[in-house]
Amino acid sequence: MDPIRSPACCAQVLFDFGGVVLSSPFEAFAAYERRAGLAPGAIREINATDSDSNAWARLERSEVDISSFCELFESEAAALGHRVSGEEVLGCLAGEVRPEMVVAIEALRGNFSVGLLTNNFVVGTPQWSSGGPFAELLGLFDVIVESSEVGCRKPEQRFYEIALERLGIAAHEAVFLDDLGVNLKPAAAMGMTTIKVSDPLDALRELEGIVGIPLR
């Protein structure tokens, strides 16, 4: 599938975290579904139901704590006929760093401002709301926008506006990489160039063509 893009070239590069800089949580969701005897795609079904106001959305906007999330998420799952552990589902988000993405970000620095746009949640670790083990990556980014800190989340337009305001740029000056089309659509509508990350190396080749420097 061709990436969604605006006609203008970028001046700054924005990255999603899980599924772009880290491995995709959907792989871990699928493994959990197999272990729990759930139908394939069950976790996505739960997350897609009332996606702006469900337990997941409320957690990422810091409207509920983790204990309340688990209770709400498990109730939402039960209403759809699924029996899940909210705590185990959250554990699927750990992910692994994609070294090729780190190399690309390091190559971009000095030529472009680099931002991190992530839907995440507070876990009591001040260094990094989505998990302390990744705190060392924060220094790679000039701007970090976390849903748990700003009170809104992708794909809400305000989330992208905050990122642009912090970078001091217009939408047409940015390229944004995310693994979810639903998060890319509003960014593209605002004027950003967007790349959907399925295969990381394919995405980096696409990005190289936009920024005009080698990233691998």
Asked if residue 111 and residue 159 are part of one domain, the reply reads: yes
Task: Report the C-alpha gap between 64 and 109 in whole angstroms.
Answer: 36
Same domain (yes/no): 17, 111: yes
Residue 68 belongs to what domain range?
25-91
Q: How many domains are contained in the chain?
A: 2
pLDDT at res. 132: 56
- What is the token pair recorded at 189? 């509508």
Residues 53 and 36 in one domain: yes
- Would you say residue 3 lies in a domain? no
> Furthest-apart CA pair in the chain: how many Å?
51
Sign of CA dihedral 3, 163, 19, 13: positive
Query: Is residue 146 in some structural domain?
Result: yes
Contact 66, 55 (CB under 8 A): no
Q: Is 178 inside any structural domain? A: yes
154: exposed, middle or buried (Cβ count in 10 Å: 0-12, 13-18, 19+): buried
Report the 10 Å Cβ neighbour count for 59.
26
Which of 91, 111, 144 is a domain's end point? 91
Is the entire prediction scored with pTM above 0.75?
yes
Is 145 in the same domain as 157? Answer: yes
Shared domain for 86 and 169, answered yes or no, is no
Note the pLDDT tens digit of each residue in 121-158.
Answer: 866 555 444 555 677 888 899 999 999 899 999 999 99
